[in-house]
Structure 1
Amino acid sequence: MKWNIRQEKAGDEAAIAEVTRAAFAGKAYADGDEDELPAKLRDTGALVLSLVAVQGTKVIGHVALSPARIGGTKCLGLGPVSVKPDVQGKGIGSALVNHAVAVAGAYGRGGVVLMGDPAFYGRLGFVSEGGTTYNGKPSKHLQILGFEDTPSGDATFHSAFSE
C-alpha cells in the first residue's frame, strides 16, 4: 500500500470531514462532533497546519495543529488525528503525527499537546506530565511533547474544541 503525506489543499475539506467521521464513529471516547473540528479551526483562522495522507488522490488520513497553551507557554494542540478504518494499523496515523510534530518545531512554540491514548502517543514521544492539568484536573490522556523543557500548568485548547 503506497501513500504520501501532503498539506491540505482546497477541495480536501469534505474528504477530511468524512475520514474524521469514519475514524471516530462508535468510539467510546468520541464526542460525536470531531468531524466538525477541522472546519471550525479552518473557519476561525486557527488551523495552523493541516496534513492529509493520500493514496493516489484519495484522502485516507488527516491531522490538524492549532494554537494551545500550557500555563504561560504557547504550544500547538494536535488533533483531531484520523485514519480511515479500513487502513488503520498500517502506520499512517503515526506518520501523520510525527510529520506534524516535525513541522511544529519550526513554529517557535514550547511543544505539542493533545488529549489521547497514552499507549499510542507514548510510542511517539508524548508523556503525561504530573504538573499539567486540563480544566484544573490531571488527566492521563493529556499528553505533551516538549521541544526543550516539558511545559507545566493548565492546558487550554482553541475554543473550537469546547463549542
Structure 2
Amino acid sequence: MTDNVTIREELPEDHDAIYALTRDAFAPMSFSDSSEPDMIDQMREAGDLTLSLVAEDDGIVGHVAFSLARISETQGIWYGLGPISVRADRQRQGIGTKLAQTGLEMLRKMGATGCVLTGNPDVYRPMGFSTEHALTYSGLNPKFISYYAFDATQPVGEINFVEALEEEHP
C-alpha cells in the first residue's frame, strides 16, 4: 500500500500542510492535548528539529519528527521520535512504519546510538522498538516508553526531550 508513497525531508513550503496534518491526525486521540502541531513548529523555530520527513502521495499524507534526546545514565547520541502523523484515510497502510523506518535508517547513518519515544507499544513493537528497559520519563508508566538501539546499548535513566517538548509536557 506504500508503493506510490515517497518519503523525503520537509521543505519550507510543507510547514502549513504538516501543521494541518498533525492537528487533524491527533484531534480524535483521547490522549492528545492538541499541542502536537505547535511542538513541531517550536522545535523547528528553536533549531531542535533534527529530522523532519514527509510521506507524499498526491500531497502530504504523513509526517514524522526526530529531535535530540538525552538519557541521564546512558552514553551516546539519542533521538526522540515524535510526533508522527498519518492522514486519517491513509492510516493502517504502512505509511507511519515507512516514515519511522526511513528516519531510523537516516539517524543510523548519522551516527546515532538509538531512538526513544513515548506511545502505544503495540504500534512501535513491530517496527523493532523494545519496552524492555530501565527508562523513565516524567512519571509516565514505563510500558509506554520504547527504544530502538543501533547497537547492543541498553539505555538506562530519565529521558529528556528537547525544550519545546519539555515545555509542553513537563
TM-score (norm 1): 0.93
- Match for residue 30 of structure 1 among 12, 22, 32: 32
Calculate the aligned-residue CA RMSD, in Å.
1.4
| Residue in structure 2 matched with residue 159 of structure 1 by the alignment | 163
Q: Answer whether contact 1:132 1:138 (CA < 8 A) is retained.
A: no
Aligned residue identity for 2:95: I
Note the C-alpha offset of 1:132: 1.1
Which whole-Å deviations, capped at 9, do the CAs of 1:78-106 have from their partners, x for residues lacking one? 00000000110110001001111111112
Note the C-alpha offset of 1:136: 5.8
Q: Answer whether contact 2:22 2:85 (CA < 8 A) is retained.
A: yes
| Residue in structure 1 matched with residue 48 of structure 2 by the alignment | 46
| Residue in structure 2 matched with residue 84 of structure 1 by the alignment | 87
Q: Answer whether contact 1:19 1:60 (CA < 8 A) is retained.
A: yes
Distance 1:137 1:76 in 2: 18
Distance 2:46 2:112 in 1: 20
| Residue in structure 2 matched with residue 126 of structure 1 by the alignment | 129
Unaligned runs of 5+ in 2: none
Aligned residue identity for 1:62: H
- Stretch of structure 1 that moved more, 130-139 or 35-44: 130-139
Which whole-Å deviations, capped at 9, do the CAs of 1:3-59 have from their partners, x for residues lacking one? 211110120000000110111012111121111121111100011100000113x11
Partner SS, residue 150 of structure 1: coil
**Percent identity of paired positions between Structure 1 and Structure 2:** 38
Note the C-alpha offset of 1:138: 4.9
Unaligned runs of 5+ in 1: none
User: Which consecutive aligned stretches of 4+ in structure 1 deviate over 3 angstroms post-superposition?
Assistant: none
Gap change, CA 1:70 and 1:129, over 3 Å in 2? farther
Q: How many residues align?
A: 162
Partner SS, residue 13 of structure 2: coil
TM-score (norm 2): 0.90
Distance 1:35 1:43 in 2: 13
Distance 2:38 2:124 in 1: 23
Distance 1:24 1:137 in 2: 19
Partner SS, residue 132 of structure 2: coil
| Residue in structure 2 matched with residue 63 of structure 1 by the alignment | 64
